[in-house]
Structure 1
Amino acid sequence: MANVFVEARPKGRPEGAAIEGYVVEDHANDVLGTFNTQEEAVAWAKGKGHSPVVARVRHLNDKKKPDHWRSA
């Protein structure tokens, strides 16, 4: 299956602000699932047959730039 993106929430949070959870999104920014931890999000995505990727640097997360992402 296609790559899905595991991202921290809330989006656009200030540096150092707490992460409230993680979402799994497709390339069109549709949320496929919401989770408490990144590990849960990755496990869910793999269980559904997706290839999850996470941002290399949290504030660099342009889905059109493959260098911003790494396999989970």
Structure 2
Amino acid sequence: MQNVYIEPMPKGQWGPIDGYTLEFHDGTKITQQVYRSERLAVDEIKLRGYSPMVAKVRVTDKTVDDHWQPAK
């Protein structure tokens, strides 16, 4: 299964998280929708047949494996 990254929005370290987007490793968004919770985003990705990856840090980089973990 291909990994899909659940990116917190807005990107960056300041301010609250307003939602989550769904992106492939290259930054291509799966949908333009912004999900209001990480759980909703994870459920959507699982329904589409992908493996969700959630951020372990606020400022993420898809090339750094330590920034991500598989969703449960």
* Aligned residues between the structures: 69
Q: Write 1 or 2 for the structure with the bigger share of strand.
A: 1
TM-score, structure 1 as length reference: 0.85
Which residue does the alignment assign to 1:44? 44
Give the partner amino acid of 1:25.
E
Q: Which runs of 5+ in 1 are unaligned?
A: none
- Whether 1:27 aligns to 2:30 is no
Q: Which runs of 5+ in 2 are unaligned?
A: none
State, as a whole percentage, how many aligned pairs show the same letter.
Answer: 41
Which residue does the alignment assign to 1:63? 62
Which residue does the alignment assign to 2:3? 3
Distance 2:26 2:16 in 1: 26
Q: Cα offset for 1:13?
A: 4.4
Give the partner amino acid of 1:27.
H
